[in-house]
Amino acid sequence: MTKTAERRPVRATAAHPVQAPPPAGVPGRRRLAEQARAYAFLLGGLVCFALFSWYPAIRAVVIAFQKYTPGQTPEWVGTANFTRVLHDPEFGAAWRNTLTFTLLALLIGFAVPFALALVLNELRHARAFFRVVVYLPVMIPPVVSALLWKWFYDPGAGLANEALRALHLPTSNWTNGADTALVSLVLVATWATMGGTVLIYLAALQSIPGELYEAAELDGANLLQRIRHVTVPQTRFVILMLMLLQIIATMQVFTEPFVITGGGPENATVTVLYLIYKYAFLYNDFGGACALSVMLLVLLGLFSAGYLRLTRSGSGEEDA
């Protein structure tokens, strides 16, 4: 922040008095002009937030209690949308799949990147190479990585089964088997998003003071004990924060099931967001879609509130 602005001198004329603090005597017109200017700067942003963020949030709740057809006057239907959605056989499947997906993504998506970051932090060579390579899949458009893995999972000439055959292992049905489809999608999502997590863990690991490890070693702590008693407590805040962020992100999973499995086989990969999409664009049932959205919103809102509380308190909690 020591950089000074390249400040072009603006010619001051006698007609321009010093205007920094508004003179106490003339509050009226001057203050109004100032406020008008402030709101002129705010206007574009405010309109966009109002239209595409605040209004839709309110509208989701309103339409959840309406029978809504575009172009017609909406009709109040009480909780009919909720009961209809709740009795949809896909409802249970969608929630079960979404929660399982989130849990699996959390287990794999935490353990693998954390272990990788731990190892990478010890390596003294080719650091830039590792960081670029691990982040590369994140920059590949999600649609492309989904299509790519759909091809890998192909039961015929797919790379996944070819690799298993080359290792003389039994082949798998991958996304074509009802019991393996969801796990297969978690693998895709983890592969595609892991890079960011690894980089953040790495940054957290690098901020651990070396003296702590030295002290632990003098106390006779072995490698695993040092991880348990130094590394994990020192990075606890980042771990928690990333876990919450990941929960919020994976609860909204859509691209992978839509592109790779289309929700199948036998609804094994239908997710809540996918079901919302189906209600709106296949059944033209916007009321049902909004009822589902509200349920998802409430759950995600709880996690987000947790996340915000953590980040707020986090800055003061560094030595905890």
Partner 1 sequence: MSGTRTLVSPAALARPRGKAVYWTVFATVVLLFTLAFLFPVYWMVTGATKSPDEVARTPPTLVPENWHLSAYTDAWDLMQLPQHLWNTVVQAAGAWACQLVFCTAAAYALSRLRPVFGKVILGSVLATLMVPAQALVVPKYLTVADLPLIHTSLLNDPLAIWLPAVANAFNLYLLKRFFDRIPRDVLEAAEIDGAGKLRILTSIVLPMSRPVLGVVSIFALVAVWQDFLWPLMVFSDTDKQPISVALVQLSQNIQLTVLIAAMVIASIPMVALFLVFQRHIIAGISAGSTKG
**Which stretch in 80-88, 90-98, 100-108, 154-162 sits in contact with partner 1 by CB under 8 A?**
154-162
- Give the torsion sign (CA, 214, 219, 224, 229): negative
Give min distance, CB of 21 to partner 1, in A: 10
Question: Each residue of 195-214: b (16+ CB within 10 Å) or e?
Answer: bebbbbbbebbeeeeeeeee
Q: Does 305 bind partner 1 (CB under 8 A)?
A: yes
Q: Does 159 bind partner 1 (CB under 8 A)?
A: yes
Contact residues for 219 (Cβ-Cβ < 8 A; gap 6+): none
Q: Does 152 bind partner 1 (CB under 8 A)?
A: yes
Q: Which of 23, 27, 56, 92 binds partner 1 (CB under 8 A)?
A: 56
Cβ neighbour number for residue 236 with a 10 Å cutoff: 13
Question: Each residue of 90-119: b (16+ CB within 10 Å) or e?
Answer: bbebbbebbeebbebbbebbbeebbebbee
Give min distance, CB of 303 to partner 1, in A: 9
Give min distance, CB of 1 to partner 1, in A: 6
* φ and ψ of 148, to 5 deg: -60, -45
The span from the CA of 274 to the CA of 16, in Å, is 60
**Which stretch in 78-86, 92-100, 147-155, 172-180 sits in contact with partner 1 by CB under 8 A?**
147-155
> Binding string, 283-302, against partner 1, x = CB under 8 A?
---x--xx--x--xx--xx-
Nearer to partner 1, 190 or 267 (CB): 190
Nearer to partner 1, 48 or 86 (CB): 48
- Give the torsion sign (CA, 151, 155, 158, 163): positive
Q: Please name the residue that has the structure tokens 């954390």.
A: 114
Nearer to partner 1, 144 or 179 (CB): 144
Q: Which of 51, 107, 111, 232 binds partner 1 (CB under 8 A)?
A: 51
Q: What token pair was written down for 212?
A: 């702590």
Nearer to partner 1, 49 or 179 (CB): 49
Contact residues for 33 (Cβ-Cβ < 8 A; gap 6+): none
Give the amino acid at 240.
Answer: L
Q: Does 268 bind partner 1 (CB under 8 A)?
A: no
Q: Where are the beta strands (DSSP E) in the chain?
A: 66-67, 75-76
Nearer to partner 1, 10 or 24 (CB): 10
> Binding string, 164-193, against partner 1, x = CB under 8 A?
-xx------------------------x--
- CA distances to 106, 212, 277 from 316, in Å: 26, 20, 41
Residues 12-31 that bind partner 1 (CB under 8 A): 12-13, 16, 18-20
Q: What token pair was written down for 68?
A: 């809504």
Q: Does 111 bind partner 1 (CB under 8 A)?
A: no
Nearer to partner 1, 93 or 247 (CB): 247
Residues 203-262 that bind partner 1 (CB under 8 A): 203-208, 210-211, 213-214, 217, 223, 226-227, 230-231, 238, 241-242, 248, 251-252, 254-255, 258-259
Q: Does 59 bind partner 1 (CB under 8 A)?
A: yes
Q: What token pair was written down for 180?
A: 């393996």
**Which stretch in 78-86, 95-103, 123-131, 174-182 sits in contact with partner 1 by CB under 8 A?**
123-131
